[in-house]
Chains A and B, each alone.
Chain A
Amino acid sequence: MKKMELVCPAGSLPALRAAVDNGADTVYMGFRDGTNARNFPGLNFDDRSAREGLRYAHEHGRKVLLALNTYAQPQGWSTWTGAVDKAAELGVDALILADVGLMAYAAKTHPNLRLHLSVQGSATSYEAINFYREQFNIQRVVLPRVLSLAQVQRVMEHTDAEIEVFAFGSLCVMVEGRCYLSSYATGESPNTCGACSPAKAVEWRETNQGREVRLGGVLIDKYKPGEAAGYPVLCKGRYEVNGEVSYAIEEPTSLSVLDILPELVRMGISAIKVEGRQRSPAYVAQVTKVLREALDAAERNPDSFSPRQDWVAALNKVAEGSTHTLGALDRAWQ
């Protein structure tokens, strides 16, 4: 059986090296602008660092993917096509695209460049996947975090595209690529600006009853003195519905597929992905190291695999809310 690929985030050159040094098979990165879905200040790669990152990864026999997974508007079209051309010239191993218009451009202009469908492309069924495959020869699809394990299996039975699933990291609760919550409150969304709940729209305020956090002026959460406060992502705030205050959409939590790694291996999933290009090189090192060990163990001996306690503890330490879930893969979560 073909080995499952471990795909790790590189938000910077040090993070890229950390991923490679700790056993990532593949790293993914973005350019330093709005062409990718982690468009954060101080993050991502310019020409020089991209070349250096590619050299480092390729010297170690690893692959580099370039995320170009925001949607291009006419006013910025040449920036996005320029990024496609740049990636081709740099010699990345594949482009991760979400925008149909850009796929058409990439397939026509660079027919030999391998294309992956970003999770932002929202392909949740084999019919959707086969559309992208037939039109643009997409080689691999990153599945949105909405399918149960049985549904993932069903998709795989009806397409010959490689399937990549998220393994660890911050959990999108909504279908990726179809969530405008961020722009509704702040004017900026993952699709248009590569940003969800952008830092410049966040406002913290200390009050007598504790700490308030707002996003675009909307009160997202209130923390009692001493209560741990995470980054204010819109879908993980506490709101009032019918007189009841709760995490009405989702608690702060991270996805982790550690418990079901052997199933993923048996199903023939091509790659598992770690979220977090916005996180530190230390995070990347830690998560890559644990998942490398776990994946090797699961592939060696899937029947007797069980997650080691130190792996679970290490991952929980860097997880949002210090806790984890299988998300939609587990039907009960839905």
Chain B
Amino acid sequence: MKLALGPLLYFWSRDEVFDFYRQALNWPVDVVYLGETVCSKRRLLRLDDWLTLAEELTAAGKEVVLSTLSLIEAESELLTLRRIVEQGRFTIEANDFGAVHLAANKVPFVAGPHLNAYNCETLQMFHQLGGRRWVMPVELSHTSLAAIQSCRPAGFETEVFAFGRMPLAFSARCFTARHYNLPKDDCQLRCADFADGLVLNSQEGEQFLTLNGIQTQSAATCNLIGAIPQMQSLGVDVLRISPQSRHMDKIIKAFRAVIDGTSNAQQGIEALQGLTQGEPCNGYWYGEAGLVWLEQPEVREARQLSGG
């Protein structure tokens, strides 16, 4: 089972981004996804910068995938997309069907988490077009995944979003700019002020969502470290850890230890205590509301009930 560092979803400074990935050179991750997937106005790093990082990470033995924008509206965004698809060296992560169209039968691609693959016929289609791997939509449960694993095309890899604030929605509107009463066209890049997004609370103070520009994320951090043994038995190939501003080295080490069997699942959960942004959650995996956190005894009970 491989460990992947998902694409950076926030708008960090150029120095912070370079610093982050130079640390990643030494982290025990196998795959690194690079590039801007949320907003085309975030341009502190150009494609050439990402390619520089890609070469360094490749030299350090990592598999590099270039991720593409998730919501494509403008012609300029299509131009960037074409440049990424046509760079000729790295696999791409297609986060929109426009990217699949450009990559089909030409460039190997990973079908990203926003392509809505819910069944094997969809995976078959990706496979025929040159897809190598798919990332499961975050809202699917282990029961659904088990069914899909039993009919997925041979050799087609499965990746599961296993740690981080989950991308839940995209909009034409920038909610960070809206918070400051700014129109998107004059957003002043205010999302740069929030290294892990801007938390939206209910009126009774419950952390609920995270505003990240045009993207809305969960406020809780998805944490499936406790489900690693189950994912191993389901034949999941890759676990995705989504970058956050702090504790990444400890988080990655904890995942690695459970994957390698040097820690058990419970020890993994304990190792990650206090390291998540907001509360942890794992509800989607167990077929519940996404924001729920099930403790291990409850997980065992839920699995017995579902026969899983």
Interface residues, chain A, with chain B CB atoms under 8 Å away: 71-75, 77, 98-102, 104-105, 121-128, 130-132, 134-135, 145-148, 151, 154, 173-175, 177-181, 183-187, 189, 191-192, 216, 218-222, 235, 238-242, 244-245, 248-250, 327-328, 331-334
Identify the closest chain A residue to B180 (Cβ): A242
Please name all residues of chain A whose beta carbon is closer than 8 Å to the beta carbon of B284 when the two chains form the complex. 183-184
The answer to whether B201 touches A72, judged by C-beta atoms less than 8 angstroms apart, is no
Q: B101 touching A240 by the CB < 8 A rule?
A: no
Closest to B75 in A: A154
B302 at interface by CB-CB < 8 Å: no
Q: Which of A75, A174, A244, A331 contacts B147 (CB 8 A)?
A: A75
Is B116 in contact with chain A by the CB < 8 A criterion?
yes
Task: Evaluate contact between A218 and B208: CB separation under 8 angstroms.
Answer: yes
A interface majority secondary structure: mixed
B299 touches A (CB below 8 Å): no
Q: Which residues of B lie under 8 Å from residue A187 when comparing CB positions?
A: 283, 287-290
Segment at the interface with A among B49-57, B169-177, B228-236? B169-177
* Contact status B137-A191, CB under 8 Å: yes
A residues less than 8 Å from B75 (CB atoms): 154
Query: What secondary structure prevails in chain B residues at the interface with A?
Result: mixed
Q: Which of A124, A185, A242, A249 contacts B198 (CB 8 A)?
A: A242
Which of chain A's residues have a CB closer than 8 A to the CB of B100? 131
Which of B118-126, B241-249, B250-258 forms contacts with chain A?
Answer: B118-126
Establish whether residues B179 and A100, one from each chain, have CB atoms under 8 Å apart when the complex forms: no
Chain B, interface size: which category? 35 or more
When each residue 189-218 of chain B gets 1 if its CB lies under 8 Å from chain A and 0 otherwise, what string results? 000000000111111111011010000101
Evaluate contact between B97 and A239: CB separation under 8 angstroms.
Answer: no
**Roughly how many angstroms separate A101 CA and B216 CA in the complex, as a whole number?**
27
Chain A nearest Cβ from B306, distance in angstroms: 12
Q: With A104-B125, A125-B96, A174-B216 known to touch, is A222 a contact of B203 (CB < 8 Å)?
A: yes
Across the interface, which residues of B come within 8 angstroms of A191, CB to CB?
116, 118, 137, 139
Q: Cα distance A211–B70 when bound, in Å?
A: 38
Are A180 and B171 also in contact (CB < 8 A) when A71-B118, A241-B200 are? no
Whether, in the assembled complex, B183 has its beta carbon less than 8 Å from a beta carbon of chain A, the answer is yes
Q: Given contacts A175-B171, A240-B205, is CB(A125)–CB(B121) below 8 Å?
A: no
B170 touches A178 (CB 8 A): yes
- Are A334 and B170 within 8 A (Cβ)? no
